Structure 1
Amino acid sequence: MKLLLTNDDGVNAKGIYTLAKELEKNHEIIIVAPSVERSACSHSITMREPLIVKEVKLNGIKSKAYSVSGTPADCVKVAVNKLTDGKVDMVLSGINNGVNAGIDVLYSGTVSAAIEAAIYKIPSMAVSSEIEGGEDNYEVAAKYASDLIEKIKNKYLKDDVVWNLNVPILNKEKIKGIKICRIGGRTYNSYFEENAIDDGKSFQLRGELNNVQDIDTDVHFIKQGYVTVTPLHYDLTNFKILEEVRKLF
C-alpha cells in the first residue's frame, strides 16, 4: 500500500520516525508533517499566508519526507494536492505524544489530520501512545498500527471512517488486548494563570485531567491496560434529534 504519514508533533518527532520505520518495511510511504510542533491545533488551516514546503532527510528513514510550515490539516491538503497527486491508499497520523481519547479528539491535530484525509475520501488512522514520566510506547504503538492496517484493509478500509488507535504505556506482553469502543468523557478542570505585564495582563491556560471513568469507553479501557480502537466520522449531525427538530418547522 502507498501510505501518507503526518502528525502534529513535527516532522522530526520520535513518534512519526518510529511509525515510518515500522511501516516502510512492508509499504511505500511518504512523510509530510509540520515543520514545528502544532499540538492541539485541532482542524485549523492556513489561509492568509503561503505554505513553505521543504524536503528533509530523516536519518535511518529511506522514504521521502517533507516539512510544511502549517498545521496537520495543511499537511494533508498539500500532500494530496501537490506531492502525491492524490495517489494514496491510506493516511496515518501520529504517533502522537500522548493518547487522544475522549474530548481530546476535538482538540487534537493528530486526529484532525486523519479527518482531513477522510474529507478527501482517503481512509485514515490516528495513532497515539500514552506517555508517562517522559517514557513513551512508540514501538509497540507502531506495531499495533501495522497490525490494524492488515486487519481492516480488505473489508473496512473505507474512505469515510477514521480509525482512532490509542496504546497504553505497557510492554506488549502486558497489554490485555484490544477493545473496540466509543470515546469517553475525558475532560479537564481548566483555569487561567494570570500575570501582570507592562501593557495589560497575560493568561496562561492550566488545568488538570478529570478522572472520569465511564465504562465501555476509550478512557476507561486505556486505564485498564487495553489498546483501544474507535471508528470516527466527521459528520457532527445529531441524528438522535434530527427528525424531532424537523417537525418544529
Structure 2
Amino acid sequence: MRILLANDDGIMAEGIYTLAKELEKDHEIIIVAPDVQRSAQSHAITLGQDLIVKEVELEGLKSKSYSVSGTPADCVRVGLEVLAERQIDLVLSGINFGFNSGMDILYSGTVSAAIEGNIYKIPSIAISAEVKEGNARFDIAAKYTRQILESSMDKLVKSNIVLNINVPYRDEEDILGIKICKIGGPIYDDYFMEHSETGEKVLKLKGRKDMEAEEATDRFYLNEGYVTVTPLYYNLTNFRLLEEVKTWI
C-alpha cells in the first residue's frame, strides 16, 4: 500500500520517524511534513506566499522525505498534488506528541492533516500519543497503528473515512485493549495575567483546568488505559435543523 505520512510536529520529530520505521517494512511510504513545529494550526493553509519544499534525508529510513514551509494541511496538499509519483492509498498523520482527544481535535494540526487527505477522498488516520514527564511511547503507538491498520485495511481502503487514534503512556502489557468511542468534551486552558513595563497586559498559559471526563468518551477510556479509535465526520452541516431553519428565514 502507498501511504503519505504527515504530521504537525515537524519533519525531524521522533513520532513521524518511529511510525515511518514501523510501516515502511511492508508499505511504500512518502513523508511530507512541516519544516518546523506547527502544532495547533488546525486546518490553516498558506496563502499569499510561496511554499519552500526541500528533500530531506532521515538517517535509517529508506522512504523519500520532504519538508514544507507551511502547515500540516499544506503538507498533505503538496504531497498529493505534487510529490507523490503514484496514487496514494492512505494518508497517515502523526505520531503526535500528546493526545488529540475530545474537542482538542478542532485545534489539532495532526487531525486536520488527516482530514485534508480525506477531502481528497483518501481514507486517513491521525495518531497521537500521551505525554508524561516530557516523554511519549511512540513505539507502542506505532505498534497499535500497525495492528489497527492490518485488521481494518480491506474495509478502510474502500471507505472515505477519518480515524482518530490516541494511545496512552503505558507499557504494552498494561494497555487494556482498544475502544471505539465518541470524542469527549473540551478541557479549558487556564491563563494568568501579567503587566509588562510598557503597561500592556500579557496573558500566559499556565496549564489546563482539571475536568472530569464524560463516560464512554475517548478521554474517559484513555484515563482507564485503553487505546481509543474515533471515526470523524468533518461536514459541519446540522442536518437535523436544516429544514427547521428554512422556516426562520
> What range describes the TM-score normalised by the shorter chain of this pair?
over 0.9
User: Counterparts in 2 of 1:77-226, with a 5 A limit?
Assistant: 77-85=77-85, 87-198=87-198, 200-226=200-226
Q: Which amino acid aligns with 2:222?
A: I
Which one is further off, 158-167 or 130-139?
158-167
Identify the residue that residue 245 of structure 1 maps to in structure 2.
245
Q: Distance in 2 between matches of 1:189 and 1:75?
A: 28
Per the alignment, in what secondary structure is the counterpart of residue 95 of structure 1?
strand
Deviation at 1:192, TM superposition (A): 4.8
Q: Which amino acid aligns with 1:77?
A: R
Identify the residue that residue 36 of structure 1 maps to in structure 2.
36
Q: Which amino acid aligns with 1:84?
A: A
- Give the conservation status (yes or no) of the 8 Å contact 2:170–2:225: yes
Deviation track 1:160-204 (CA, whole Å, cap 9, x = no partner) reads 311000000011111111000000013114325333154844433
Q: Distance in 1 between matches of 2:192 and 2:158?
A: 41
Q: Distance in 1 between matches of 2:111 and 2:208?
A: 21
Per the alignment, in what secondary structure is the counterpart of residue 135 of structure 2?
coil
- Give the conservation status (yes or no) of the 8 Å contact 1:189–1:210: no
Structure 1 unaligned segments of length 5 or more: list them: none
Give % identity.
Answer: 56
TM-score by length of 2: 0.95
Deviation at 1:209, TM superposition (A): 3.7
Q: Which amino acid aligns with 1:7?
A: N
Q: Which amino acid aligns with 2:88?
A: V
Q: CA RMSD in A?
A: 1.6
Identify the residue that residue 12 of structure 1 maps to in structure 2.
12
Per the alignment, in what secondary structure is the counterpart of residue 116 of structure 1?
helix
Which one is further off, 198-207 or 64-73?
198-207
Aligned residues: 249
Deviation at 1:222, TM superposition (A): 0.2
TM-score by length of 1: 0.95
